[in-house]
Structure 1
Amino acid sequence: MYNEFDDIVDRLNQGRLWDFPGGVHPPGLKELSNHSNIKEIPLPPTLFIAVKQHIGVEGSLIVKEGERVLKGQALTKSTNPFAVPVHAPASGSIVRIGPHVSAHPSGLPELCVELRTDEFETWIDLKPILDYQTKPKAKIVEAICSAGISGMGGAGFPTHIKASPKKNVEFLIINGVECEPYISSDDRLMREHAWQIRQGIDILAHLLSPKIVLVAIEDNKPEAIEAMQVACQENAKYRVVSIPTKYPAGGEKQLIQVLTNREVPGKGLPIDVGVIMQNVGTCFAIADAVLSGKPLVKRVVTLTGEAFKYPQNIWAPIGTPISYLLEQGKYREHKQRHRKIIMGGPMMGFELLSNDVPVVKMTNCILAPSSAEVDEPGPEQPCIRCSACADACPASLLPQQLFWHSKAKEYDKAQEYNLFDCIECGACAYVCPSEIPLVHYYRIAKADIRTQEREKDQADKARERFEARKQRLEAEQRERDEKHSKAAEARRNAMSEKGSDAKDKISAALARAKAKKLQNQETDIQTTDQNLTSESAAASTDKQDKVAAAIARAKAKREAAKATAKPEVDTNATTTNQPVKQQKIAAAIAKAKAKREAVKQAASGQASVPAKEIESIEQSAAAPLDPEHLKKQKVAAAVAKAKAKRAAAKQAESSPAEQPTPTERSEQEVEPASTELTPEQLKKQKVAAAVVKAKAKRAAAKQTDPNEDEK
Structure 2
Amino acid sequence: MQALTFKRGVHPPDGKALSAEQPIKVIMPKVGSELFFPMSQHIGAPCEPLVQVGDYVKVGQKIGESQAFMSSPIFSSISGTVKDIRPMLVPGGATVKSIVIENDGKMEEIEGLNQPKDYTKMTNEEILATIKEAGVVGLGGAGFPTHIKLNPPKDQPIDHIIVNAAECEPYLTTDYRLMLEESDKIVRGLQVMLKLHPNAKGVIGIENNKPKAIEAMKKACEGISNITVQPLVTKFPQGSEKHLIYAVTGREVLSGALPASAGCIIDNVDTVIAVERALFRGRPLMRRVVTLTGGAVKNPGNYKIRIGMTFTDIVEAAGGFKENDPPVKIIAGGPMMGPAMFTTDVATVKTSSALLCFTEKEAFIPEERNCIRCGKCVEHCPMGLEPLVLNQCAILGDGDGFVKNHGLDCIECGSCSYECPAKRQLAQSIRATKKIEMGKKAAAAAAARAKAAAEKK
- Is residue 2:375 matched to residue 1:387? yes
Q: 1:341 aligns to what SS in structure 2?
A: strand
- Is residue 2:161 matched to residue 1:164? no
Deviations 1:158-189 (A, max 9, x none): 10012112222111111111011110000001
Name the counterpart of 1:636: none
Closer, same or farther: CA 331–407 of 1 in aligned 2, 3 Å: farther
**1:336–1:369 contact (8 Å) kept in structure 2:** no
Question: Normalising by structure 1, what TM-score?
Answer: 0.62
* Distance in structure 2 (CA, Å) of the matches to 1:201 and 1:337: 41
* Distance in structure 1 (CA, Å) of the matches to 2:319 and 2:165: 28
Q: 1:258 aligns to what SS in structure 2?
A: helix
Name the counterpart of 2:5: 19
* Distance in structure 1 (CA, Å) of the matches to 2:148 and 2:124: 13
Task: Quote the offset at 1:406 in angstroms.
Answer: 1.9
2:84 to 89, 93, 96: 96
Closer, same or farther: CA 410–290 of 1 in aligned 2, 3 Å: same
**2:4–2:231 contact (8 Å) kept in structure 1:** no
* Distance in structure 2 (CA, Å) of the matches to 1:252 and 1:108: 25
**1:301–1:365 contact (8 Å) kept in structure 2:** yes
Task: Quote the offset at 1:108 in angstroms.
Answer: 3.2
Name the counterpart of 1:316: 305
Q: 2:289 aligns to what SS in structure 1?
A: strand
**1:335–1:371 contact (8 Å) kept in structure 2:** no
Name the counterpart of 1:625: none
**2:321–2:327 contact (8 Å) kept in structure 1:** no
Higher-Rg member (1/2): 1
Closer, same or farther: CA 291–111 of 1 in aligned 2, 3 Å: same
Task: Quote the offset at 1:453 in angstroms.
Answer: 2.6
2:230 to 216, 233, 241: 241
* Distance in structure 2 (CA, Å) of the matches to 1:321 and 1:337: 19
Name the counterpart of 1:35: 21
- Is residue 2:419 matched to residue 1:431? yes
Deviations 1:95-143 (A, max 9, x none): 1101011211xx2321111111111101112263432111111011001
* Distance in structure 2 (CA, Å) of the matches to 1:277 and 1:444: 27
Closer, same or farther: CA 18–187 of 1 in aligned 2, 3 Å: closer
* Distance in structure 1 (CA, Å) of the matches to 2:445 and 2:109: 43
Q: 1:368 aligns to what SS in structure 2?
A: strand
**1:144–1:290 contact (8 Å) kept in structure 2:** yes
Q: 1:65 aligns to what SS in structure 2?
A: coil
How many residue pairs were aligned? Answer: 452
**1:335–1:370 contact (8 Å) kept in structure 2:** no
Closer, same or farther: CA 282–333 of 1 in aligned 2, 3 Å: same
1:109 to 95, 107, 128: 95
Misfit runs of 4+, over 4 Å? 333-338
Closer, same or farther: CA 138–286 of 1 in aligned 2, 3 Å: same
2:253 to 264, 281, 298: 264
- Is residue 2:389 matched to residue 1:396? no
- Is residue 2:357 matched to residue 1:368? yes
2:288 to 295, 299, 314: 299
* Distance in structure 1 (CA, Å) of the matches to 2:121 and 2:74: 28
**1:321–1:356 contact (8 Å) kept in structure 2:** yes
Name the counterpart of 1:623: none
> What's the RMSD between the two structures over aligned residues?
1.6
* Distance in structure 2 (CA, Å) of the matches to 1:90 and 1:54: 20
**1:90–1:121 contact (8 Å) kept in structure 2:** yes
Task: Quote the offset at 1:80 in angstroms.
Answer: 1.9
Closer, same or farther: CA 130–356 of 1 in aligned 2, 3 Å: same
Task: Quote the offset at 1:375 in angstroms.
Answer: 4.5
1:349 to 333, 338, 341: 338
**259-268 vs 38-47, which moves further:** 38-47
The structure, 1 or 2, with the larger RCO (C-alpha pairs under 8 Å, 6+ apart) is: 2
Task: Quote the offset at 1:16 in angstroms.
Answer: 3.8
Name the counterpart of 1:642: none
Amino acid at match of 1:397: L
**2:333–2:352 contact (8 Å) kept in structure 1:** yes
List gaps (5 residues or longer) in structure 1.
1-14, 470-711
**1:18–1:260 contact (8 Å) kept in structure 2:** no
Closer, same or farther: CA 308–375 of 1 in aligned 2, 3 Å: closer
List gaps (5 residues or longer) in structure 2.
none
1:140 to 113, 116, 127: 127
**2:5–2:232 contact (8 Å) kept in structure 1:** no
Structure with more strand by fraction = 2
Amino acid at match of 1:376: F
* Distance in structure 1 (CA, Å) of the matches to 2:307 and 2:119: 27
Amino acid at match of 1:298: R
Deviations 1:516-539 (A, max 9, x none): xxxxxxxxxxxxxxxxxxxxxxxx
Name the counterpart of 2:113: 126
Task: Quote the offset at 1:466 in angstroms.
Answer: 4.2
Name the counterpart of 1:80: 68
Question: Normalising by structure 2, what TM-score?
Answer: 0.95
**1:172–1:210 contact (8 Å) kept in structure 2:** no
After TM superposition, the structure 1 = structure 2 runs for residues 666-705 of structure 1, keeping only pairs within 5 Å, are none
Name the counterpart of 2:439: 451
Name the counterpart of 2:170: 181
Task: Quote the offset at 1:277 in angstroms.
Answer: 1.1
**197-206 vs 321-330, which moves further:** 321-330
After TM superposition, the structure 1 = structure 2 runs for residues 485-500 of structure 1, keeping only pairs within 5 Å, are none
* Distance in structure 2 (CA, Å) of the matches to 1:86 and 1:204: 22
**1:306–1:335 contact (8 Å) kept in structure 2:** no
Name the counterpart of 1:413: 401
Task: Quote the offset at 1:292 in angstroms.
Answer: 0.9
Name the counterpart of 1:563: none
Task: Quote the offset at 1:149 in angstroms.
Answer: 0.6
